[in-house]
Structure 1
Amino acid sequence: MWRIIKLKIFSLEVSEHILSVKYRHPLAQNRQPVLELPLHKVIAMKTEKAVINYILSISISSRKGIKNFYYRLEQMPENQPEKYNQIAEFIKTSKKEPYHYS
């Protein structure tokens, strides 16, 4: 019963300018944003294999320096870590300063 209560679905959404990390429970409809920030603040993103699970690490620049965020991804199919690496490459190539409207 405890494992069902603690179960979460991880969601990583990347739009043209925003990176959003969300969790939700399989039985709930709402998604809770855990991290939402502009793409130009992301310094690095990588997926690493831990002992049992995968871990997604996101490094961002902030006013106080570099901050690191770690998210447990549980077990994934073989091609899933490659998809996260493709997203990381997309973020790296799309890093531009935000456009300011006058």
Structure 2
Amino acid sequence: MRTPLPGAYASCDRKATYAGLADYDAPFHDRFTGGTFLPSLSQRRDFAELTAANELDLALVNPEFRARVGRSPAGTLHRFRPLLSDQAWTVVEEVF
């Protein structure tokens, strides 16, 4: 997988970005600069896959994380469904 939006994973203002990430014209919000930009479909897919991988990894290896967040990552990842590969979505369904 290519590195999505170099540096963007850490800089993402998740509250402002996640809800619309699957929408073609939804901006990506940078929490450090306050700036926004429109990522390409490829960039949005890569970002969604990285987010899913991170949330799944945390849920699988950290029982405290899983207990704290319950099913909430599944809700976030459900919004990303149009961007996620079938393989990623299968694991999301299995874990959450």
TM-score, normalising length: structure 2: 0.33
Higher relative contact order (CA 8 A, sep 6+): 2
Instruction: Say which one has the larger Rg.
Output: 1
TM-score, normalising length: structure 1: 0.31
More helix per residue: 1 or 2? 2
